[in-house]
Structure 1
Amino acid sequence: MTDISEPDLVRGEKRALRRVFVTGGSGFVGSHLIRELRAQGSEVVALARSEAASRIAASAGAAVHTGDLTSIYSLSRGMAGCDTVFHAGAYLPDWNKKEAFDVNVVGSRNVVEAALRAGVERIVYVSGIGVMIGSGPVRNVDESVPRGRPVGVLAASRIQSEREMQNANRDNLNTVIVRFPYVWGPRKHPYPGTQGRDSERSISLDRRGASQYLDSSHRQRDRWLDPSGKKRSAGRNLLFHGRRASGAATVL
């Protein structure tokens, strides 16, 4: 089990997360996060804007707060009594610039304002490594390294969202940005926006670490590139049905 209690930035000590608020709790990262937080004894409140999202967040162990990222008032009510916010909610498809801006940039701005009103101590913002595209080799990167080019709708909106979070950092509110590479595992849909279209679609790895996208009958739909950039044949597939797999990626 991964310990995700927060380190104290001054004393270098870990502090328990007593009560936290999670956006994006019905998503892949968010639902796993809720389970891990609950396993470590934290009380979790999750934002949900639909009945389906509410069911997922509740099944992961969170108390559900109905609302969305557009309402500062609703967000601040959900954050009441929370010491930490994990902001994992986002518009992930790469094709609607306006919606990406409204959800990712304005939504992040609203999360900051709501956190200030609710007296939250820290926001952990879930971003992605795509914000560094075009910046050169990404090794030991921190906030002092300039971001890359805004390639695509998602990366462009996340670059702006990161700026919102950095600008919000102050004495009474600490902001942390986490940049994930591509992550996958149980319940992961390989393409944003496929949720609900085919609940049995899944990712598989062959013995060489190449990945491919399978439909419910385990037929290959799209073949992905392995780390060397070469297309690979299917080989023996290891489907992600709740167990850890070996390969070039970390499985949640």
Structure 2
Amino acid sequence: MRYFVTGASGWIGSATVPELIAAGHRVTGLARSDASAAALTASGADVVRGTLDDLDVLREAAAASDGVVHLAFKHDIAFSGSFKEAAEADRRAVDALGEALAGSGRPLVLASGVAGLKPGRPATERDMPESDGSPMSLRGATAAAVLALAPRGVRSSVVRIPPTAHGDGDRGFVASLVSFAREKGSSGYLGDGANRWPAVHRSDVGRLFALAADGAPAGAVLHAVADRGVPFREIAEVIGRHLGVPAVSVPQEEAAAHFGWMSGFVGLDAPASSDLTQELLGWHPTGPGLLADLDEGHYFRAAGA
């Protein structure tokens, strides 16, 4: 089998591509830069040059493949204040990929998010996001569009990932919390810090995407969740302990100053389960939990160490 993978050199892609290759598949990865192309070649993948805006490139690569794993998203644009623009670009890319695969019975696996589905209680694979017209809901609408490809002859599925897909080399949410704590001299949480974040090790996410590409039934929703919900205060306390700074409650009105672009996320109470996914595909997380991963120390290494 040959899989076309977008976002193949990214944080999740660089864990997924080796899993696909280890399973005996060929991989073609989308690369928008020389550095990404070199990384993919070094991993044993073939390369097609382009971006999410090159819709003809996406259609041609999808049509030439035995299936697609779509991991790319314009995170740099999304978290600099243009989430709507990033989500709209993602939807155009998904429509192009779906068009190329329609009627083929081949898989299209989409990366989506688990946070915010059902605040206050563990979200399951059966829960669907509300469509309220907000920029954030646009990504949920894209996931729904992928699932709607199933009756059109695409073995489509959606893998929802927690914001904390952690591991050595992470430059995302957890690494940013460490950076904020180091900069401010305190490791913050909102209120009593009882709100819960789901989490998963990056290696487990890569394995789930490979399993989904090979065997997820059409219309499946999957959760890449290991820790159902880690209390945010516990995350802050571990970070504080490693940095030698106090863990403190940050007033809501000071959240933006302390957490920057993450201020809208740190207060989320977003527990989630993956029981149905584990039963369906036999996927069982084996990587360290979030707090154990923090205790391994790699998040606190000096730059370049």
TM-score for both structures, normalised by structure 1: 0.68
- 1:213 aligns with 178
Offset at residue 51 of structure 1 (A): 1.7
Offset at residue 83 of structure 1 (A): 1.6
- 2:109 aligns with 124
Overall identity of the aligned pairs, in %:
22
- 1:82 aligns with 65
Contact 1:124 1:177 in 2 (8 A): yes
Aligned ranges for residues 10-29 of structure 1 at < 5 Å? 18-29=1-12
Equivalent position to 1:113, from 85, 99, 105: 99
User: Once the two structures are superposed, what CA deviation does each residue of 1:165-216 show, in whole Å capped at 9, x if it has no partner?
Assistant: 122222521110110112011332125xxxxxxxxxx83xxxxxxx94249x
- Letter of the structure 2 residue corresponding to residue 140 of structure 1: T
Offset at residue 159 of structure 1 (A): 0.9
Query: What is the alpha-carbon distance in structure 2 between the residues aligned to residue 249 and residue 42 of structure 1?
Result: 32
Query: What is the alpha-carbon distance in structure 1 between the residues aligned to residue 105 and residue 52 of structure 2?
Result: 16
Query: What is the alpha-carbon distance in structure 2 between the residues aligned to residue 105 and residue 45 of structure 1?
Result: 21
Unaligned runs of 5+ in 2: 194-229, 244-286, 295-305
Offset at residue 48 of structure 1 (A): 1.4
- 2:150 aligns with 169
The answer to whether structure 1 residue 51 and structure 2 residue 34 are counterparts is: yes
Unaligned runs of 5+ in 1: 1-17, 192-201, 204-210, 238-243
Question: Which structure: greater helix fraction?
Answer: 2
Contact 2:21 2:27 in 1 (8 A): yes
Offset at residue 47 of structure 1 (A): 1.0
Aligned ranges for residues 185-196 of structure 1 at < 5 Å? 185-191=167-173
Query: What is the alpha-carbon distance in structure 2 between the residues aligned to residue 246 and residue 141 of structure 1?
Result: 21
- Letter of the structure 1 residue corresponding to residue 124 of structure 2: N
Contact 1:20 1:42 in 2 (8 A): yes
- 2:241 aligns with 235
Distance 1:54 1:151, change over 3 A: farther
Query: What is the alpha-carbon distance in structure 2 between the residues aligned to residue 174 and residue 250 of structure 1?
Result: 34
Query: What is the alpha-carbon distance in structure 2 between the residues aligned to residue 189 and residue 87 of structure 1?
Result: 20
- Letter of the structure 1 residue corresponding to residue 231 of structure 2: S
Question: Aligned with 2:169: secondary structure?
Answer: coil
Question: Aligned with 2:72: secondary structure?
Answer: coil
- Letter of the structure 2 residue corresponding to residue 235 of structure 1: R
- By relative contact order (CA 8 Å, sep 6+), the higher-ranking structure is 2
- 1:10 aligns with none
Question: Aligned with 1:64: secondary structure?
Answer: strand
Question: Aligned with 1:112: secondary structure?
Answer: helix
- 2:140 aligns with 159
RMSD of aligned Cα (Å): 3.1
Contact 1:108 1:165 in 2 (8 A): yes
Distance 1:179 1:50, change over 3 A: same
Contact 2:88 2:138 in 1 (8 A): no
Offset at residue 102 of structure 1 (A): 3.0
How many residues align structurally? Answer: 203
Offset at residue 121 of structure 1 (A): 0.5
- Letter of the structure 2 residue corresponding to residue 123 of structure 1: L
Query: What is the alpha-carbon distance in structure 2 between the residues aligned to residue 128 and residue 162 of structure 1?
Result: 9
Query: What is the alpha-carbon distance in structure 2 between the residues aligned to residue 44 and residue 147 of structure 1?
Result: 31
